[in-house]
Structure 1
């Protein structure tokens, strides 16, 4: 951290920071802020906050040593009264979708209720959750004003700085990743810039408005979803030509301006979710987004392509299948919107004899029916399985020599 920058922000005002939502975004941010300021980490899940207060993170959102370092200087609570003395509120709650793919803003609204009830004159509220352009101005700020009785830019300020956490990746750590910042006024933006520059060594990009910052984050994730859809569609074509799409991509990547995106399953709580926010927002403006919508359909359909190829491989044989990996991507425990779990469930529903193994995830988070399909004891891996399929490429699987008696496959063999 730049010492002069920290002294600058301390002179400007003394931040006492509340981070609301201690998941994959909020917990690392809480730990980073706690290196420099006294913070209050708030989460409505009492069991989670109790464990985090002891340095235990069942979700593995942050390293244990970072959590223990943070709680030496800061506190973690589930009682919202504990954030009353804070003057900076950073909201990092999840923004998912409903079963019909409509934006689910309930956690975000709830966080606004909590902050609004504790907001005071001179306070600052910063949103990091991904939302459609306009959500902060049209949904969040009115709630803050209603529950606080205060007025934006007269009594308090609001900023938006979208998270760029890449779960499970060490290279692009929060502290060295360029960050977009925006504010409800130039004074608020200056304050946000001073605050974030005291903990982040990477450049800060000042957006001209909150809506621009919201749109930039949305564009980042929609672009990646669309490029993966192109890779998935091109992979289908390569299959018809009997050539390896992964090799094709590797060769094409030797061109300097080629986007090296490989085909795959799109799960998790960002890339496979955020486009729906943009699609719904565009509809409210009487605009269709056919490219974005088609990309979503292609990537959602990839799950069924994999299932069909597995079913075709089995045919009418009575085969036993072992699936390796159940998180939404490699080397993390996050199972939100996991396509691997969806594949396991659908194959099981079809009557396929199937077991699964993933030593990284917490299987207690699964439904009892699906949890019963998971191997708990590694000694069970000694059993013979007709087909072994590695759907998620956890590095820990390199320690196991698990092979099927008929076939051993990876995800790239099925897409």
Structure 2
């Protein structure tokens, strides 16, 4: 569908940049971010998130800027800033509200603002709109209009892209909903789903990832059960997976900016409304505890093999929250690191994709290069980047003392039929 709107995208991270690029292939786009270094790298045609290749920038018409005044040129604004949780696992709307203040000073009569950031049901209308109205002096639903369209970006996924994922849209009025739908439909090939209200669209987003979180929690709980029975969980799942309707979830560390965060937005709102969630928080508790479980299992195995614990060297391969992306946000690998360190273990961390400065700043972790790694008693393949897995045991065993020791393959990506002599393999 055609439209005559000029698009701005506020927030140019893992979500905002692919959105800006998709629209920029067909229309002029204003790409705004408060991070001037991020703007500089995008202007040079480089994306440190690795979501957009350099050649794609040349095919787009995007003006990257950190000057909020330039947002006045646009009349359709898409807000795609992070919505994390704080140390107490409470929703942190700080970036979203700050973006609303910046944008509110620039919007004008007739503009449409669409939020894509993950929030709890009601946040757009109860938290964001009042700020837009206060800063602009305009009235939402009369002078300008607001919608919500939940992001569905999956970092590192080259198959499911912004244009190939069905887009849920919502808005304050039927007329503004039609405009929002037309704008997105101009670039989203997979089609549009019009939600009946903004709250419905907000709720749909948080339950998408809550559902995945709970299914992975079930797999992780199976690990806790089957390990006591001496059964390999992946063998069980492979057998059960021969049934046509068995869902292919796997155990693991659950981090990142979505699955490990979104459920807390829903439980926070539920608590405000007087309901204490049971199932959701139980699943969160299981998943949040897997890092400590992995570390404790390794400690027990070191002891069983007559290895010292205090002063032992353990190398962890991978620090990002998932394979083949540089994203360090909410990585749960850090839980494994911290728990091992609490036992006096010397932990070395290697990751070919993670930003060393980001790892140091966010977690106090010094990422080591291959040449700086000392031989280890154990190796944990925490994040199976293709660089590790493609080389198989040759890449893994070189980190061990004399090529022998313990290897903990968290996601069971290594071939069990070709384990070198002298290596003890562990898996979730």
Give the shorter-chain TM-score range: over 0.9
- 1:89-108 alignment runs, 5 A limit: 89-108=77-96
Cα deviation for residue 369 of structure 1 reads 10
In 2, the alpha carbon distance for the partners of 1:347 and 1:236 equals 19
- 2:325 maps to 1:332: yes
The 1:38/1:288 distance shift into structure 2, 3 A limit, reads: same
Choose the corresponding residue for 1:301, options 279, 289, 297.
289
Choose the corresponding residue for 1:186, options 167, 174, 194.
174
Match of residue 422 from structure 2: none
* More deviation, 346-355/128-137: 346-355
Match of residue 39 from structure 1: 29
* SS of the residue 1:125 aligns to: strand
Cα deviation for residue 310 of structure 1 reads 1.7
Match of residue 50 from structure 1: 40
In 2, the alpha carbon distance for the partners of 1:68 and 1:330 equals 28
- 1:21-100 alignment runs, 5 A limit: 21-70=11-60, 73-100=61-88
In 1, the alpha carbon distance for the partners of 2:385 and 2:362 equals 24
* More deviation, 137-146/397-406: 397-406
Match of residue 6 from structure 2: 16
Verify the 8 A CA contact 1:122 1:156 in the aligned structure 2. Answer: yes
In 2, the alpha carbon distance for the partners of 1:22 and 1:157 equals 22
TM-score by length of 1: 0.93
Structure 1 unaligned spans of 5+: none
Verify the 8 A CA contact 1:306 1:414 in the aligned structure 2. Answer: no
Match of residue 420 from structure 2: none
Deviations 1:353-400 (A, max 9, x none): 221211111111123696664222x3345x532212211110111235
* SS of the residue 2:73 aligns to: coil
Verify the 8 A CA contact 1:268 1:336 in the aligned structure 2. Answer: yes
Match of residue 162 from structure 2: 174
Match of residue 410 from structure 2: 411
Cα deviation for residue 55 of structure 1 reads 1.1
- 2:379 maps to 1:388: yes
* SS of the residue 1:76 aligns to: strand
In 1, the alpha carbon distance for the partners of 2:280 and 2:341 equals 31
In 1, the alpha carbon distance for the partners of 2:176 and 2:364 equals 48
* SS of the residue 1:96 aligns to: coil
CA RMSD of aligned residues (A): 1.7
* More deviation, 366-375/278-287: 366-375
- 2:310 maps to 1:320: no
Match of residue 402 from structure 1: 396
In 1, the alpha carbon distance for the partners of 2:244 and 2:5 equals 44
Choose the corresponding residue for 1:274, options 259, 262, 285.
262
Cα deviation for residue 292 of structure 1 reads 0.5
The 1:214/1:366 distance shift into structure 2, 3 A limit, reads: same
Deviations 1:86-131 (A, max 9, x none): 1011000000111111110010001111111111111010010000
Match of residue 271 from structure 2: 283
* SS of the residue 1:215 aligns to: helix
In 2, the alpha carbon distance for the partners of 1:268 and 1:142 equals 30
Cα deviation for residue 350 of structure 1 reads 3.3
- 1:159-308 alignment runs, 5 A limit: 159-308=147-296
Verify the 8 A CA contact 1:93 1:108 in the aligned structure 2. Answer: yes
Verify the 8 A CA contact 2:149 2:170 in the aligned structure 1. Answer: yes
Structure 2 unaligned spans of 5+: 412-425
